[in-house]
Amino acid sequence: MTKALESTRLDTVRAWVDGWTVSRGTPPPVTEPWGLRVDTGLPGHVARHVVPDPTPALIQRLTSAIKVPGTWLKLCAPAELIAPWLPPGWAIDPPEYLMTGTLTREHAAAPPGYTLAVTTRAGVTVARLLTDAGEIAARGQLATAGWAAVVDRVETAENHRRRGLGVVVMKTLAATAVSRGATTGVLVATPEGRKLYESLGWRLRSPMTAAVFTG
């Protein structure tokens, strides 16, 4: 990897973590020699260590020092690379993907039968598509971090999928982010979410592996 590409990925990871902490209402990230640490303090999610450039020696050092179950590693590498480096007591989640996208201020209207509701509180904007009965059919949220807008918790209820609701949510969040001066969207996607984001022109920056210490 060239220095330019490495710097770009580090900047992207930093922006994602900065925005994620605002979105989730956690303490700000702490810079470590190997990456970033977020002390979430939640049951089953005590802390997360975000490592942009994992190596076997680094993973060995981290896993040897971690003693509290519910501590997570978020690693910029595929699971098949990471798995042999983890000692017993660690479990790997399904694959994730660090992605970025150019933001545009594009109007998105709610389809018939749905109402779009957008609220902002404590720096976090939430877009919801509601049914006539008030049920949340789809939602997503974002927090800005300088040039980046971090998109988080995008989901569509199972009985409302394949109706373009996710696209409406994403375009609404993008327009909000542009109005705040952000130019690039950053997120970590599930395999299912990746399909939606790629259809909107987002690009894969790195596979991500989430591993948790179970004790």
Q: What is the pLDDT of residues 33-67, one digit of tens each?
A: 999 999 999 999 999 999 999 999 999 999 999 99
The four Cα atoms 26, 28, 33, 35 give a dihedral, to 10 degrees, of 60
Provide the whole-model pTM.
0.92
- Find, among 8, 134, 130, the residue nearest to 76 by Cα: 8
Tell whether the torsion through CA atoms of 85, 45, 161 and 187 is positive or negative: negative
pLDDT for 8 equals 57
Average pLDDT over residues 185-193: 96
- Find, among 92, 94, 21, the residue nearest to 59 by Cα: 92
pLDDT surpasses 90 at 2: no
Alpha carbon 145 to chain centroid, angstroms:
13
Average pLDDT over residues 93-122: 95
Token pair listed for 146: 């300088």
Q: How far apart are CA 65 and CA 140, in angstroms?
A: 35
If residue 100 lies in a helix (H) or strand (E), which one and from where to where?
strand 96-102
Q: Where do the H-state alpha helices sit in the chain?
A: 3-24, 56-65, 79-82, 165-179, 191-199
Do residues 137 and 155 touch, judged by C-beta distance below 8 A? no
Sequence-separated (6 or more) residues with CB below 8 Å from residue 180: 144, 149
Phi, psi of 136 (to 5 degrees): -80, 110
pLDDT surpasses 60 at 97: yes
Token pair listed for 113: 């039968």
Average pLDDT over residues 167-189: 96
Count the Cβ atoms, other than its own, within 10 Å of residue 32: 12
Average pLDDT over residues 23-38: 96
pLDDT surpasses 50 at 72: yes
